[in-house]
Structure formats: structure tokens, C-alpha cells
A and B are shown apart, each in its own frame.
Chain A
Amino acid sequence: MRDIKIQVNDLSLYYGEKKALKEISMQIPANKVTALIGPSGCGKSTFLRCINRMNDLIPSVKITGEMLVEGVDIYDKNVDVVNIRKKIGMVFQKSNPFPKSIYENVAYGPRINGLKDKTQLDEIVETSLRQAAIWDEFKDRLDDSALGLSGGQQQRLCIARTLAVSPDIILMDEPASALDPISTSKIEELVHQLKENYTIIIVTHNMQQAARTSDHTAFFYMGELIEMGKTNAIFTKPEKKQTEDYITGRFG
């Protein structure tokens, strides 16, 4: 099955005693946008962070089950977490550029991978910024501090920074939640363009956004995966009552 990128089998996650994800099983298709929706605290972020093993940073976390990416279990003992994260990039809910210049932010990833050549770096910075559709805005102020940018600009810079390490999968945790409608639509546009080359998984609270940007949608509720399917199907005729209630805004 070439077009299944990620296969999740019975994945459970515990924060200490608390079971935050309950036997999740799903398939995430390649080169498509998959949206994760669900009420606050249902485990969307937790699940997303499982995919690039960011939960390793929390000492109390225990994970069971399998997370197969192209058939390789990323929780296997022999798998290197650093290599995983190079291939599975992440954009956070709150934009978090480094306190460095715009250029240095984007060049950071290639640099830690050992790239020193200035012309190559310049090239990657330009391509990444172009891909994130902010090259024209930023090309004359690459040496400015990234912290002086607006929230929307910062978020797109973070996306460019992620693209610069040329990952395979991009995880986005409510990337537009703190942004105005214009910045939001820019990011949605971006997501749409990026899916040609990347597999994208995006968490969102915004139903229209999920409907607009994603090909597939997964609905989480209280740590369980309730339903997953084509976005069209989920939004027009959901199979489960809970999904319908949530989408139509009757709870959540």
C-alpha cells in the first residue's frame, strides 16, 4: 500500500497513571492533508506529538502499541529519535522562532545537519522562504531579528524553518489559532500547496478550516478515535452521533 504513510496500531499513551490516548488505530495517507479535530483536551496534540516522538521529552509518558511510518515502527529500540525528527517536522501552535535573525532561523536546521557552504545555505533559505510564500516580504530584511515580526509572519517563518530541513511529513498543531483571518488564509493556502510534496497532519479547532484544507478528517473524543474518513464524508454524513454533534456545534 504505497499511499499509506502512517499506520497506527492500538496506540495508547499514559501521562503517569492517566490514559490520554486509548487504543488508537488509523491510517494516514501520503501526500494528503489529514485534519485532527475534537473538543479541547481530547488528545489531539498528544497524538500529534507521538508522531515525531516529542512526548519523549515528558518523563512521565508511557506509550504502548505501534506507530509505523512507511512500515518502520518509530518506537523501535533501534530507531534514532533525532533522525525521526529530521524527517517529521513540526509547527507549533504558538509560533516559536529562535531569538536570531530571520536568515539564521531558517538556516538553523541545515546547519545542524552539518551544512556549512554559504551559497548552499543561501539557496536553501531562499527556497524555503519562497515555499512558505514569505520570500518577497523578507528578502530585504533577512538579518532582522525574527522576534520583531508579527505573529502571522513568525508562524510562516516557522513553517519555512521546518521546510528547510526537507522533512517528509509535517505536523501542525493549530498553526493558525492565534492569527487574524488574512494570515490564516495565507497559511491555509500554503498548506494546500505543500501537500504536493509533503504529508501533512494538522490539528484545528476551526471546522471550516478543516473542511477547506483537509482531504481526510479524524475526530477524537476523550482520548479515543471516534471516526475517520474523507473530509467530505465526515462533514456531510458522519457515521457516529458524537461526530455529528461536534461538527454541528451541539457540544464541544
Chain B
Amino acid sequence: METHNKMIELMHRHLDGDLKKEEEVILRTHLEECVSCQHHFHDLKRTISLLKSVETIEAPINFTENVMAKLGAEKKHFKYKRWFKTHPLITAAAIFFIFMLSGAFVQFEGQSELVVSKQENLIVKGDTVIVPEGVTVEGDLLVKNGNLIIDGTVDGNVTIVNGELIDDDPLEGEGLMASVGEINGELNTVNKMFEWLWFQAKSLFKGVFSF
């Protein structure tokens, strides 16, 4: 069994074009004398040719027109964004000014301890916040100065300031199983001073322009 598994590993590496000369000889020699591995190898190659035989599908008629029509609706929002991006100096100066006034620098620089916007049913381990499996956070979640693991569900936007979302990927070790938890909203990770300002400015301008 041990040898067969090793050979199956070699088959896959052969299919990816990763086999060294000597490994190729080992695989070929084994295939000559092992019927079960011959079948396995044959089935793998056949699977690939079956996959390749699937036909092409074309986009529905008017697809491009429909996309362009929808873009018309996006345009307004986009124009502001574009203006900010093409006038970075004015934007930066304006943002700087606004935040000098509002004391946002203090907000960002002054705190280094972990802050979580909600704590019901959440686990805090050191500087990591965990949304456990089966738990649903209703509404937005903000984590400052710490990392976040989501095994459950967040029904809202997630913002992480000075930290990151850890995808602990339980799939890797084992078989084909369901995936990690989910965010039913937007994920924003803010790690640098400027990004933080940009993020604040975006929410501010969204507020200003959303009437």
C-alpha cells in the first residue's frame, strides 16, 4: 500500500510535468509490474481527457450592451472616486485638514490595545478575536489592533484596523469538506495610517454624497 501511494503521488507530479528523470524510471518500472497502479494511472489520464472534452459556452446575446447599460448607473459614484484619485494632493490635503480638526490622528495613534465593536458570543484569545462556529454576528463588526478568525457568520460588514483576517483553512489537512465561515458584507482591512485616513474619508464622503 505504501509503495502504491508513493506511486500515485508520482503520477500526479508526472501530470504536472514535475517528475525528475530518475523518478520517471521508478514510476515506469512499477507500472510494468503493478496492474492496480496501471488502472489508476489510466483512469487519471482518462479523467483529464473527459474534462477536456467539455464544450465551450457563449455569453448570451446583448451581454456587452447590458454591462455597459449597468455602468451608466455606476457612473455617478465612480466620478467622485475618480476625482479623488486623479487629484491626490488636493484630496490628501483636504483629508489631512478634516482629520486635524476631528482629532482622528489621536484616534489612530493613541490606541494600541485590542478593541472589538461587539463581544457577545465572541472569543478573545490574546490579540485574536474568534467568531466561533455556529455563532452569527448580526450587524457590522469592527476589530482594532488585533486579528480576526471567522468560523461562524457575520451578517454585515467587517472592518479590521491594524490586524488581519486569518483564514485557518481547515481544508488543507484533510479531505474535501465544507469551507470556513462567511461574511455577508464587505471586508475592509486597514493597516496603514494613510489607508485609515482614506477609509475614514470614504465613509465620510459616502455620507456627504449619499443623499
The answer to whether A and B belong to the same complex is no
